[in-house]
Chains A and B, each alone.
Chain A
């Protein structure tokens, strides 16, 4: 035993040295290598010791116990799967745009606060959440989070969970659509490439179902080749005087097209658009993440962003609010993401071959996502700070021209010249990069920078558009999949009121519920497009709060599972993260509603807007709409907070009743069945 511990001590030491180097070189440029080393050292030590403690002492995973994949094997969704394959499958399911966008936005505080939260948040909170939900679901025949909340805590909590999932979905779809709008407005190259993904996916859909049934890999390879051709052709389209104007769209036009797309995709059969898109984007996702890791490791770029910027005081241009709580709200995915609880209690538990594999897949999969978030942070931090803020600050702050933008940014203490911004935009094949808030474009510039240093200098524009394509592709996939899931939930709810509404294949019900879901997220999207502060400022915190709310629900379910299993002495593994999440979510929610700073508080902004209208500085009709939107956002934040408080209250009551022995805990685990697998 002592000898096997030695390499881990070495690793812990390497991680500590890396953290020390980051700490001691404040104000100097350091290499991304230190961030990577600090993160990986922490991950490996936490995985070896903490996840093992969770697996063996807290959950007591038992390989003699047959998993649902073994007992209920049906060759379709219940399939025992080798652990590394399932690890890849699970990782591809949990990693999306979230871990890429959040860190890039939080980089306005500097790279250090975000990185610390990403690394320590994941090992102590995020990975624990994913692991315990996967464990709970595996012991309950692969039940979903909503079902577990209902069975373990009560019907009220189950209902709150379903409502929270629907709400988070709507805000998530709106904010992700806004990221795409900000990346693609006025960019014919980007719009052309993304538009091409639709006919490509439809062709793949027909190929896989009608032309050569079941040949999914073949169709995906064809799709990928066509996609890369579309990427190259995009440059030619952007340069063509006839075609470029057709694909040059304003933000409002793009928002309209995205809503139309979400509706059509939700109404069409899955095989035609959704499934092929999903395959295409998963291929791209795995490929690009590997490429990014390779690029960063090959180049080990210096980080030009400061470790900590002056914007920790809450005056940041990308989004308002102090480091606490907003750093922890902005980075949800990558540190702790409630949404993962849905995947960990969805497809993955039905494929787990042995219980002990849950450690690698639940805990390890989330650690891997955190690593993607660290890479995203590195990609943002290789940019000059001036460039980073030029891309991410809203237009109203920067002013309309390169000169005004450079002046404003110089006022913040970062050097940047109009020529520099012009050259950069030209080099990536865009008219302008100003105010493309949302993370995708700055990540794309950072990735293009890294890729072109690693794999060839003269391809910068192509790499930029490749990165945009990659992000927009899976955001659109989230849009259609999410709209569809929202539609099913709405139909399910509607079925309780009027039976035919619940029939998922009845056309009027499909059309009506799809339209309602699209209208809901579309409303927030349009609000974001019209928002003078840049919609990310209001929508991204709302998304962060709702995602953390879902994480709080998951941790409550996890704690209940532990308490009912007579393991209350270990409940700190979930109660610790839960307490932190409550502190963060409730503080952020309160500040977003009531803060006096109009950039931060929704109500203060409504007052300021009404004041401007009264003074004649703003068109009254426009002002009325802005005021309404502010109040709506305040209500949404308040509802999220109320749901959180109600839910935690219900859980605490349940726990105390059980612990005081006034209620007999009912174990909902499926009974033990011995596995037939050898070893």
Chain B
């Protein structure tokens, strides 16, 4: 698969995840590397657990 398509696919998946309220691990890692390079990068599973816990933890995320 050409690199351009791969980028396109990754971009599409990332948009879809954001739209549906799903965690986006790649974006998180990119954020950590630019803003907090000193912090350890969690595994995908650790990130997933943390994400769903905060998202569904403190109030309604969806309406009736």
Contact = CB atoms under 8 A, between A and B. Distances in A.
Given A144-B59, A176-B64, A346-B60, A270 B43 contact: no
Interface in A345-372: 346-347
B32 A217 contact: no
A346 B59 contact: yes
A346 B21 CA distance: 13
A213 B17 contact: no
Contact of B57 (A81, A82, A217, A488): A488
B56 A76 contact: no
Interface string A278-290: 1100110010000
A92 interface: yes
Contacts, number: 135
B56 A274 contact: yes
B35 interface: yes
Interface residues of B, number: 39
B17 to A, nearest CB: 6
A140 to B, nearest CB: 15
B52 A97 contact: no
Contacts of A271: 48-49, 52
B64 A85 contact: no
A401 B54 CA distance: 51
Contacts of A74: 31
A484 B53 CA distance: 12
A93 B35 CA distance: 29
Given A75-B28, A75-B32, A85-B15, A216 B64 contact: no
A176, A213, A482 — which one has the most chain B CB atoms within 10 A of its CB?
A213
A245 to B, nearest CB: 33
B21 A270 contact: no
Interface string B24-55: 11011011100100000001110111111111
A93 B62 contact: yes
A339 interface: yes
A378 B63 CA distance: 22
Contact of B21 (A213, A282, A337): A282
A679 B50 CA distance: 34
B60 A96 contact: no
Contact of A270 (B17, B30, B52): B52
A209 interface: yes
Contacts of A274: 52, 56
B55 A347 contact: yes
Contacts of B56: 270, 274-275, 278, 481, 484
18 contacts: A76-B28, A92-B20, A92-B62, A96-B62, A98-B63, A214-B25, A216-B17, A216-B22, A220-B20, A270-B57, A278-B62, A282-B20, A282-B21, A477-B62, A485-B60, A488-B57, A488-B58, A488-B59
Q: Which 3 A-B pairs have the closest CB atoms?
A: A75-B31, A98-B64, A75-B28
Given A75-B30, A217-B17, 11 more contacts: A79-B18, A81-B18, A82-B15, A96-B62, A144-B59, A172-B64, A208-B48, A213-B43, A217-B16, A270-B56, A481-B61
